Every structure is written in structure tokens, then in C-alpha cells.
Amino acid sequence: MNHHVVGRAQGRGTSLADQDEAQLGGPTSVLVRQKREHIRLDHLLNELAQTSGAEQDRVLSRIYRLVFPHAFAEESVLWPVIRRVLPDGEALTLQVEEEHQEVNELVTRLDGEALDPAERRELLGRLVTVLREDVRDEEDALLPSLQQQLSERQLRQLGVAWELVRRTAPTRPHPVVSRRPPGNALAALPLTVLDNLRDLCAVAAHRAPRSAPTLNNVSHSLARAAGQVERIGALRRGERDLTSVENR
């Protein structure tokens, strides 16, 4: 008996990394969409290691714009399904929610504080490690287990739902908002609007350096507004203690 068969017998399935598009349910399957974005993330993380200064900041914001909507759509669309169909879904999803929470907190610190180069290097190093672990947990454990429970048709339907939410999801870290529905779903719309405005400010500031200070002020007040949205009680509902900012 080879190891794959043993893995299957234990209910884990084959890593997404070892399956092609057809095996994963075709181009619109949620598994193909996940794998595609994980590969993009891998390229960006390699670029991050090869750049510095302003260039590295630009790579970093591309990583944020990829990672936050991606994770948000996982938390609001995929993990609830995994908790319904897998007996160990609760433990599996809690682990990746903790990884997502750590990413949110690391990025908030990277963005917000004046850091000396050594601190920044350390935070960036940790960020890369957690993001890579998150991908491995999903591709090797969570998603293959999900694959065993759903038909290809269901994987494609889930792919459409995941993509829809991903496209309207927040693009920045919001560590205080619940990692679980219903709080995260309620927060999505106002936070997405505010995040998109901040992204526009960043792009505009880059194109027109003279108005950058004004645009940065606007961006900061949008960040404050987002902070107020995050703290609305209802948006924190559904969270487990381990990923809750208040409970630590």
C-alpha cells in the first residue's frame, strides 16, 4: 500500500499541490481558485525577499490586496461549510482562523508603528512564515478533506460563492472584527468601501507625490472610521475566544 492510499484511508485525501485542474473539479472549482491564488502568493512572497524600501512596500501592498479578501471569503464561505460536513471541522478551521488572526495583527503592527529595521525584518519574517503555513494547512489538510465530502458540482458552486465574496471583501487587516459569521459578514460592506477608498488614496498619492500629505490625512481618517466600524458590537459576534482580540 502506498502512502497516498494510507492518507485516503485516514480521510485526509491528496494535497491540492499533487492534483491537476481536472482532478480538482475544473477551472471554476473552489479548489482550483484557491490553488491559483496560493501560487500567486508564493511568487509575491519570493519577490518580497528580493526587494527593499519603497519597492518592497509596493510588493507588500499587493500581498495585502491578495491575502485579505482571500482569507475573508474563506472565513465567511468555506469554513462554515467545512464545519458542517467534517467531524473535525471545528478544530481544523480554528487553527487556520488563528493563523489569519496572527496575519491581521502582524500587518496592523507593520502598518501602524514606527519600526526600527530589525523589528520590521522580524515582523516580515514571521508574516511570511505564517502565510506559508496557512497555505500548507489548507492545501494538505482542510481542502482535501472538503474535497472528499463534496461532489465536483458542489465544489464549482462553492467556487462561485467564494469568488463573489472575495471580490467584495475588505482589502486590509481588521483584527478586531469576528473571524466568523455573522459578525464578519455584517462588517464586510462598510469595511470594503472604506478599504477601497484608502487603496485609492494610496494609488493617488503614489501618482501625485505633491498631494501625498493630504491624501495620507484622508487615508488616516478613513482608517479611524474603519476602526469605529470594527468595534460595533454586532460585528464581533460569532467569534471563538482564541481569535478574539478582547479576550487576550
For every residue of 201-239, DSSP letters joined together read HHHHHHH-GGGHHHHHHHHHHHHHHHHHHHTSGGGGTT-
The nearer residue to Fe ion, 102 or 222, going by C-beta atoms, is 102
Residue 77 DSSP class: I
- Shortest Cβ distance from residue 155 to Fe ion (Å)? 14
Does 134 interact with Fe ion (rule: CB under 5 A)? yes
Does 138 interact with Fe ion (rule: CB under 5 A)? yes
The dihedrals phi and psi of 43, each to the nearest 5 degrees, come to -60, -45
- Taking CB positions, which residue lies at the least distance from Fe ion? 134
Cell reading at 227: 476602526
N- to C-terminal Cα separation, the chain: 46
Of the listed pieces 50-58, 116-124, 132-140, 213-221, which binds Fe ion according to CB under 5 A? 132-140
- Shortest Cβ distance from residue 82 to Fe ion (Å)? 12
Candidates 94, 100, 83, 96; CA nearest to 145 is: 83
The nearer residue to Fe ion, 140 or 230, going by C-beta atoms, is 140
The nearer residue to Fe ion, 138 or 195, going by C-beta atoms, is 138
Q: How far, in Å, CA of 143 to CA of 145, rounded? A: 5
Does 75 interact with Fe ion (rule: CB under 5 A)? no
The nearer residue to Fe ion, 35 or 219, going by C-beta atoms, is 35
The nearer residue to Fe ion, 71 or 107, going by C-beta atoms, is 71
Q: Which residues bind Fe ion (CB under 5 A)?
A: 34, 71, 134, 138
